[in-house]
Amino acid sequence: MIQKTARAAEKASAKALQRCLLPACGATYSLSERIYVCPRCGGPLEIDCSLIAPDNPEALRKLWRDRAVSRDPRDASGVWRYREMLPFDDDAPIVTLREGNTPLYDGPRSADYCALGSLRLKHQGCNPTGSFKDTGMSAAVTQALVLGTRTVVCASTGNTAASLAAYAARAGLQAAILLPHGQITAAKLAQSMDYGALVCEIDGNFDDCMRLIQQLGDDPSIYVANSINPFRIEGQKTVAFELMEQCGWQVPDHVVVPGGNMGNSSAFGKGFSELRALGLIDRIPKLNVIQAEGSAPLAHLFAELGNDQIASDAEIPDAIEPVEHPRTLATAIKIGAPVSWQKSLRTVLRSGGRIIAVSEQEIADAKAIIGRDGIGCEPASATTVAGIKKLVAAGHIRPADAVVAVLTGHVLKDPDYVSHYHRGTLSLESQPISGAFRNVPVHVAATKSAILEILERRR
> In angstroms, what is the minimal distance from the CB of 339 to Zn ion?
16
114 binds, among ligand PLP, Zn ion, none (CB under 5 to 8 A by kind): none
Q: Which is nearer to Zn ion, 29 or 437 (CB)?
A: 29
User: How many Å apart are CA 441 and CA 259, to the nearest integer?
Assistant: 33
Q: Which residues bind ligand PLP (CB under 6 A)?
A: 131, 133, 159, 227, 258-264, 332-333, 378, 380-381, 408-409
Q: Which is nearer to Zn ion, 23 or 432 (CB)?
A: 23
Q: Which residues of 137-151 are buried (b: 16+ CB within 10 A; e: fewer)?
A: bbbbbbbbbbeebeb
333 binds, among Zn ion, ligand PLP, none (CB under 5 to 8 A by kind): ligand PLP
Q: Which is nearer to ligand PLP, 286 or 367 (CB)?
A: 367
Q: Which is nearer to ligand PLP, 142 or 381 (CB)?
A: 381
Nearest partner of 151 among 238, 219, 235, 96, judged by Cα: 219
Q: Are 406 and 388 in contact (CB under 8 A)?
A: no
Q: Which is nearer to Zn ion, 44 or 107 (CB)?
A: 44
Query: Where does 121-229 have alpha helices with state H?
Result: 133-147, 159-171, 186-194, 206-216
User: How many Å apart are CA 349 and CA 182, to the nearest integer?
Assistant: 36
262 binds, among ligand PLP, Zn ion, none (CB under 5 to 8 A by kind): ligand PLP
Per-residue binding letters, 25-54, with Zn ion (x by CB under 5 A): x-x----------x-xx-x-----------
Q: Which is nearer to ligand PLP, 262 or 418 (CB)?
A: 262
> In angstroms, what is the minimal distance from the CB of 232 to ligand PLP?
9
Per-residue binding letters, 11-30, with Zn ion (x by CB under 5 A): ---------x----x-x---
Residues 6+ apart with CB under 8 A from 28: 17, 18, 19, 20, 48
User: How many Å apart are CA 78 and CA 198, to the nearest integer?
Assistant: 28
> In angstroms, what is the minimal distance from the CB of 63 to ligand PLP?
29
278 binds, among Zn ion, ligand PLP, none (CB under 5 to 8 A by kind): none
Q: What angle do CA 362, 104, 287 make, to 5 degrees?
A: 60
Helices 230-246 + 263-278 axis angle, to 10: 60
Count other C-beta atoms under 10 Å from residue 60's C-beta.
Answer: 18
Count other C-beta atoms under 10 Å from residue 187's C-beta.
Answer: 17
> In angstroms, what is the minimal distance from the CB of 219 to ligand PLP?
24
Q: Which is nearer to ligand PLP, 133 or 354 (CB)?
A: 133
| Dihedral sign, Cα of residue 399, residue 404, residue 408, residue 409 | positive
Q: Which is nearer to ligand PLP, 76 or 377 (CB)?
A: 377
436 binds, among ligand PLP, Zn ion, none (CB under 5 to 8 A by kind): none
63 binds, among Zn ion, ligand PLP, none (CB under 5 to 8 A by kind): none
- What are the φ and ψ backbone dihedral angles of 283, each rounded to 5 degrees? -155, 165
If binding is defined by CB under 5 A, does position 423 make contact with Zn ion?
Answer: no
Residues 6+ apart with CB under 8 A from 295: 323, 326, 327, 328, 333, 334, 335, 336
> In angstroms, what is the minimal distance from the CB of 84 to ligand PLP?
24
> In angstroms, what is the minimal distance from the CB of 124 to ligand PLP?
8
Burial of 349 (0-12, 13-18, 19+ CB in 10 A): buried
Q: Which is nearer to Zn ion, 318 or 456 (CB)?
A: 318
Count other C-beta atoms under 10 Å from residue 441's C-beta.
Answer: 8
Per-residue binding letters, 238-267, with Zn ion (x by CB under 5 A): ------------------------------
40 binds, among ligand PLP, Zn ion, none (CB under 5 to 8 A by kind): Zn ion
364 binds, among Zn ion, ligand PLP, none (CB under 5 to 8 A by kind): none
Burial of 440 (0-12, 13-18, 19+ CB in 10 A): exposed
27 binds, among ligand PLP, Zn ion, none (CB under 5 to 8 A by kind): Zn ion
Q: Are 138 and 79 in contact (CB under 8 A)?
A: yes
Q: Which is nearer to ligand PLP, 52 or 131 (CB)?
A: 131
Site residues, Zn ion (CB under 5 A): 20, 25, 27, 38, 40-41, 43
